[in-house]
A = this chain, B = another copy of it.
Amino acid sequence: MYWGVKMNLKKKVSLAVVKRLPRYYRYLSDLLKMDIKRISSQELSSRMGITASQIRQDLNCFGGFGQQGYGYNVEYLFNEIGNILGTNNKYQTIIIGAGNMGQALANYTNFEKRGFKIISIFDVDPKLVGTEIRDIEIRDLETLEDFISQNYVDIAMLAVPYEQTPVVAERVAKLGVRGLWNFSPMDLKLPYDVIIENVHLSDSLMVLGYKLNEKFDFTRNDSEKNNDCDF
């Protein structure tokens, strides 16, 4: 079966390509649901808004399994990209912070389908500790050290208040957790060998605000335009 493809066949691709892979993965998943078996780079291009040549170039990184005039095998490509992204890996994941964001993350069943198994949630609130979200127990943050010494943990999702984020992050990294997914509006830096992905929600919102402004601000004085910085 496809999922059995060995890890050691995984190829190394550039970070720019890697960042596009989850998007290919989403579109291919949709195509599979629609029972579409093959797709040309042109058709994928018009669906995804990426040029066909970019698609061919990206997918060539994984052995170029498209055939001229015949297109890509959707299921094979889906499984291959899933394999590269490690969707069959079942990363052991914990959530720290069971506030609204932590609960939202715990409720995303999609993460599990993408290879991330949430095995525990931690919080300091005695009202939350002992309760469950989707059968996942919320434990007292004080028991974090014990839990990690007894359970292998790959990734910690940090959904704690801003001020506490660096302290909690350091504590988790010290315990040997190798990946941190940070939701506080700061670029976490740690003196440990960990991989950190920051999700900066307000950055995304501010870009939306800027674009709105640009698009609808017809009062802008054109003489102020600095051509070096134009689109």
Binding site for B on A (CB under 8 A): 7-15, 17-19, 21-23, 25-26, 48-49, 60-61, 63, 84-87, 89, 91, 99-101, 103-105, 107-108, 110-111, 114-116, 154-155, 178-179, 181, 185-187, 195, 197, 199-217, 219-221, 224-226, 228-231
Q: Which of B7, B60, B200, B225 contacts A11 (CB 8 A)?
A: B225
**Contact between A202 and B110 (Cβ–Cβ < 8 Å)?**
yes
Copies in the complex: 2
The answer for the CA separation of A26 and B188 in the assembled complex, in Å, is: 13
**Contact between A212 and B224 (Cβ–Cβ < 8 Å)?**
no
The answer for the CA separation of A111 and B203 in the assembled complex, in Å, is: 10
**Contact between B100 and A219 (Cβ–Cβ < 8 Å)?**
no
**Contact between A14 and B181 (Cβ–Cβ < 8 Å)?**
no
B contact residues around A85 at 8 Å (CB) = 206, 209-210
Q: Which of B22, B195, B212, B230 contacts A179 (CB 8 A)?
A: B212
